[in-house]
Amino acid sequence: MHQEKIANVIQEVRKVVVGQDRMVNRLLIGLFTNGHILLEGVPGLAKTLTVNTLAKVLHLDFNRIQFTPDLLPADLIGTMIYNQQAANFEVKKGPIFSNLILADEVNRSPAKVQSALLEAMQEKQVTIGETTYQLDRPFLVLATQNPVDQEGTYPLPEAQVDRFMMKVHIDYPSKADEMEVMRRMANMSFSSDVDAMLSKEDIFEIRNLINSVKMAEPLEHYIIELVFATRFPDQYGLKEEAKYIQFGVSPRASINLNLASKAVAFMDGRDYVLPEDIKEIAEDVLNHRIILNYEAEADGVNTRDLVKILMEKVPINKSVTLK
């Protein structure tokens, strides 16, 4: 059973990482549905450690790229190097050629580097010189950005953030979890060794199984209703919230919400989607796609609060006319 293997993956990651099951779950959903994940949280919440550990457990090639203001696109995708002995140019591939890419502090690099990364994410290929190279499969980008210390950063444009399947906010651990973290990491003999639990073949097979998970038509309509409620909130009785929304979500939101909810159902051992699966994942899929105005910032309103209100006020069984 693949669900048992997935449970073993999570259990293996827990040997090293404490209290980040939700982050691991979202990373696996991204991997199984061919989506990319943006992680946001203050420093020290084990974002890098979690991704590194997960790569070992999944037996995938892993590269960490520290984004800095002086990084160049060639540092990411590779470049042509002149070989004096052979008197010709040779391709030197960059760190983007790996299965799991950790783009650490992606908002610290300038726009041209961010564009190179996002193009690779979208096209699953890069061009060096005159030759186009396919990226490794599976290919998953996990980007992190720091919500504090914004000096000297280059925030990702809203239209480019939309290319990430989910934006996952990482919170501080509970007191009990932090106690366990402290005890582990203060022990200088603590080992972070883990065993591989999934193969590439398993991952591709899981993708095929998730693709066959069934979603009833009323739930497909519910996804469309949630998406349209962000674009036309007045029509859904969200008059108070409407004054804060500048732009609603793009069609990528409905596609990714469909995929992610199927993955949630599969990981829960079902071959059909429930309304709870959509609600479970909606915040992470929608929160970075809703663009708020300055009034929302002034009133301290964030997109996660708006998504929760949407799910409370948009009914599942509302009749829909598709036009």
**Section 41-69 average pLDDT:** 85
CB atoms within 10 A of CB 247: 14
pTM: 0.87
What percent of the chain is predicted at pLDDT more than 70?
95
- Segment 240-264 shows an average pLDDT of 90
| Amino acid 60: pLDDT | 86
**Span 76-81, mean pLDDT?**
84
Give the pLDDT confidence of 58-68 residue by residue, as tens digits.
888 888 898 88
The residue that leads in pLDDT, 110 or 317, is 110
What is the biggest distance separating any 2 CA atoms in the chain, rounded to whole angstroms?
A: 72
Mean pLDDT value across residues 8-32: 88
Looking at residues 312-319, what average pLDDT do you find? Answer: 74
pLDDT digits (tens, 9 = 90+) for 272-284: 999 999 999 999 9
Distance CA(51)–CA(140), nearest Å, equals 11
Q: What CA dihedral angle connects 214, 218, 220 and 222, to 10 degrees? A: -140
Residue 318 — very low, low, confident or very high, per pLDDT cuts 50/70/90?
low
Instruction: Supply the pLDDT for residue 266.
Output: 94
